[in-house]
Chains A and B, each alone.
Chain A
């Protein structure tokens, strides 16, 4: 199977190279219009078909690796390093992306899958798809070169003798979310290649109008949604597995995923200005270039060992390949931009500082400032080592002071932007739109202070207060937008408010889906704000010992050890009481596992999650002084809000992806005077906008 996989990768590389070279030649011939022996259109078609076949070849290679994992083929080094016989089947499947070579196959396979869909849909716009497909083939060539020559997944085991068993999967990765978190994240990273390819292709061919944006809008939104889900699943995994009581550690790997998300979010907003008003064309092109390059840079940062990371599971020496690729991509983008920049002249300019356009501009500014801050913080250890010869640490302590203010400002813009009109907002409309959110802000701030928050005493409490108040203001603004629109429809159609609201959303899914996404972000920010009030307690606990945290009393029922074929485990069982009353039927069981195959320990957190807070218990190990298990308890307020908010964001994105109801298909019931139509209700169509 190893030979089959290697051969499939080689075939994939040759097909991708054919697509790149022949596709580029054909497009060049079409552009110059020079007569040739071969029809350039037919050449382009063969290139497209080769691009489709790349997907088949890479699928075969990925299948070969998965098959080898499931059949315990320990003649392959990758299988030895990332699997073993006792590994449960779902994790055997996850072994595909648990190491460098496997994760690059996953990357290449997803790229092939996206390319497959893109090339099948070529009839939408044959020429633009030909350009995008050729650029995509260039990216595929890079990854397949990497897989074939630099980090070969089917390389034979060192020493040539296959061991009886493998080293097993990293215990940190043996968690259900690891089966879906990396594919989601990669769907996001890889997916940005599509709008990048379209943007670069449209620029190369001086594509008129904004059609490339319309074509890629759904691609970009889907990609953004996958990246969002991937990031949050990663947060949840870190929260449940790493056992330090938090979900975001500002680790370089986490930062690497956040940077393209920030620029991708900026792009999703600023393309609206290009669609609506033909503005910010150069900006948009560079935003999507930057998003793609940040995806590659993130991979470089975490795999080349440039920066140390808690969860860099796949470090190696392939940094040089990524640097070369980044330089080539940058050079191509810069060259094409310089050559074609006159094509990107803006059609209009901003007319007012207080307008929807300028709010998008500021939103982009803040998102890019956040992106720069994170990039700067991630690279600062490297810079300090270069300039001072001493490596400095940049951890959450740094980001707490620099990134959180930017995040709070972004939350403010989330609420302000949608309340402003295109072109310019009048003072009257400003007053009308902002009065309710303003009241919500002031009332929430007052209520928080009355409840005992002292923003003047503590910086995190100040940011939490600001977040709660802004969240209330933004939620009020969004709700009032929904109610205002639904009210109008209610008067027009006679439907009840809920039905009017559904109709409102269906008529403009993009706008109201966007509002739902904003509402989800507000909920997520509320969850983040709870971090300022985290509490923790730690003590060795024997049977019958009690620990108090917040209103909860934890009573240790006993400590137990168990073993199975995969791991040994130690765990405590703790009953939870609140005001003397037992609140859980089953005791909580924080656990520590030690995997037999490699002796690596793993924390299994016990978490009782409610909308109010999470009671989060960690079995830290044995206390040397007492010989008892050390139990650490955290009381983390509002964490559940983050996961709920994510669901709302995903729902909102899905709503925005659904095509809006065509005005011609909207049935509007109009109550006609009794005399006119014998008291019946007439159904008319059209005029929904």
Chain B
């Protein structure tokens, strides 16, 4: 090494750079992994309730010394760390705590009604309204024709009415 002191320095500095780059890459990779698992933790945590009876979502429970929050979070963390799928993790919670642990109804069985009903009612009401307005609008020309066929006089009362109806509010 002593024969090529300059090269040695160059070599060691290259090694240092490569090591630094690898370290940075490793940190980035790990932090990316951490970000992914954190995001998954938060997402799954948002789908669960705290089971202490506080009626709050797991991630929102802020009770001092809550007996269940820590345990549930540990269970969630370990499920993610063990590579379990979302379904497996949530099923594990349901098995342990019952269906009330889920923050929202599932997409199966009677639960599906919870999701469908608001959109179904809104959709039907929307269709009904459109149908009704079109039906009313179709009747208008007949009424107008009726008026035109009869007397075309516009008396004071009619003028007042037209003014009241067309005045912008």
Set of chain A residues within 8 Å of B62, measured between Cβ atoms: 242-244, 603, 618, 620, 632
Q: Kindly identify, within residues 332 to 390 of chain A, every residue whose CB is under 8 Å from any CB belonging to chain B.
A: 348-353, 358, 361-362, 365-366, 368-369, 372-373, 376-377, 380, 384, 387-388, 390
Give CA–CA (A368, B126) in the complex, Å: 11
Q: Kindly identify, within residues 118 to 138 of chain B, every residue whose CB is under 8 Å from any CB belonging to chain A.
A: 118-119, 121-122, 125-126, 129-130, 132-134, 136-137
Q: Is A651 among interface residues, defined by CB-CB distance under 8 A?
A: no
Give CA–CA (A618, B98) in the complex, Å: 30
Give CA–CA (A36, B104) in the complex, Å: 63
Set of chain B residues within 8 Å of A395, measured between Cβ atoms: 49, 57, 103-104
Residue of A nearest to B130 (CB): A353
Give CA–CA (A422, B169) in the complex, Å: 9
* Minimum C-beta distance from A403 to chain B (A): 8
Name A384's contact: one of B55, B105, B125, B133 (CB within 8 Å).
Answer: B105
Q: Are A402 and B100 in contact (CB under 8 A)?
A: no
Q: Are B114 and A277 in contact (CB under 8 A)?
A: no
Give CA–CA (A126, B13) in the complex, Å: 99
Give CA–CA (A365, B61) in the complex, Å: 36
Residue of A nearest to B64 (CB): A621
Q: Are A390 and B164 in contact (CB under 8 A)?
A: no
Q: Is B47 among interface residues, defined by CB-CB distance under 8 A?
A: yes
* Minimum C-beta distance from B164 to chain A (A): 6
User: Chain B contact residues: over half helix, strand or loop, or mixed?
Assistant: helix
Q: Are A310 and B118 in contact (CB under 8 A)?
A: no
Q: Are B54 and A310 in contact (CB under 8 A)?
A: yes
User: Chain A contact residues: over half helix, strand or loop, or mixed?
Assistant: mixed
Q: Are B134 and A398 in contact (CB under 8 A)?
A: no
Q: Are A369 and B129 in contact (CB under 8 A)?
A: no
Most interface-central of B65, B129, B168 (chain A CB within 10 A)? B168
Give CA–CA (A288, B114) in the complex, Å: 27
0 or 1 for each of A239-276: is its CB under 8 Å from B? (1 = yes): 00011111001010000000000000000000010011
Residue of B nearest to A388 (CB): B110
Q: Is B79 among interface residues, defined by CB-CB distance under 8 A?
A: no
Give CA–CA (A406, B47) in the complex, Å: 21
Given the interface pairs A276-B165, A276-B169, the reply to whether A397 lies near B133 with Cβ below 8 Å is no
Set of chain B residues within 8 Å of A394, measured between Cβ atoms: 104-105, 114
Q: Is B153 among interface residues, defined by CB-CB distance under 8 A?
A: no
Name B169's contact: one of A245, A358, A511, A601 (CB within 8 Å).
Answer: A511
Given the interface pairs A244-B62, A372-B121, A621-B65, the reply to whether A361 lies near B133 with Cβ below 8 Å is yes
Residue of A nearest to B117 (CB): A376
Set of chain A residues within 8 Å of B121, measured between Cβ atoms: 369, 372
Residue of B nearest to A347 (CB): B161
Set of chain B residues within 8 Å of A349, measured between Cβ atoms: 136, 139-140
* Minimum C-beta distance from A213 to chain B (A): 13
Given the interface pairs A362-B129, A369-B121, A621-B64, the reply to whether A390 lies near B98 with Cβ below 8 Å is yes
Given the interface pairs A365-B129, A423-B166, A603-B62, the reply to whether A352 lies near B118 with Cβ below 8 Å is no
Q: Kindly identify, within residues 61 to 80 of chain B, every residue whose CB is under 8 Å from any CB belonging to chain A.
A: 61-65
Set of chain B residues within 8 Å of A508, measured between Cβ atoms: 168-169
Q: Is B102 among interface residues, defined by CB-CB distance under 8 A?
A: yes
Name B64's contact: one of A348, A376, A422, A592 (CB within 8 Å).
Answer: A592
Q: Kindly identify, within residues 152 to 169 of chain B, every residue whose CB is under 8 Å from any CB belonging to chain A.
A: 164-169
Q: Is B36 among interface residues, defined by CB-CB distance under 8 A?
A: no
* Minimum C-beta distance from A218 to chain B (A): 15
* Minimum C-beta distance from A221 to chain B (A): 14
0 or 1 for each of A301-334: is its CB under 8 Å from B? (1 = yes): 0000000111000000000000000000000000
Q: Kindly identify, within residues 210 to 256 of chain A, every residue whose CB is under 8 Å from any CB belonging to chain B.
A: 242-246, 249, 251
Q: Are A397 and B169 in contact (CB under 8 A)?
A: no
Given the interface pairs A392-B102, A402-B119, the reply to whether A272 lies near B129 with Cβ below 8 Å is no
* Minimum C-beta distance from A131 to chain B (A): 26
0 or 1 for each of A579-614: is its CB under 8 Å from B? (1 = yes): 000000000000010000000010100000000000
* Minimum C-beta distance from B35 to chain A (A): 13
Given the interface pairs A349-B140, A369-B121, the reply to whether A376 lies near B114 with Cβ below 8 Å is yes
Q: Are B103 and A397 in contact (CB under 8 A)?
A: yes
Q: Are A310 and B56 in contact (CB under 8 A)?
A: yes
Set of chain B residues within 8 Å of A618, measured between Cβ atoms: 62
Top 4 A-B pairs, shortest CB-CB distance:
A621-B64, A397-B103, A369-B122, A244-B60
Q: Which residues of B contact A (CB under 8 A)?
A: 46-47, 49, 54-57, 60-65, 98-105, 109-111, 114-115, 117-119, 121-122, 125-126, 129-130, 132-134, 136-137, 139-140, 164-169
Taking A398-B104, A402-B115, A618-B62 as given, write out 13 further A-B residue pairs in contact, using a Cβ cutoff of 8 Å, ordered by the A residue number: A244-B62, A272-B169, A350-B132, A351-B137, A369-B122, A376-B114, A384-B114, A393-B101, A395-B57, A397-B46, A397-B104, A601-B63, A621-B65
CB-defined A-B contacts under 8 Å, sample of 11: A243-B62, A272-B169, A276-B169, A277-B165, A362-B126, A369-B121, A384-B110, A391-B100, A394-B105, A422-B165, A620-B64
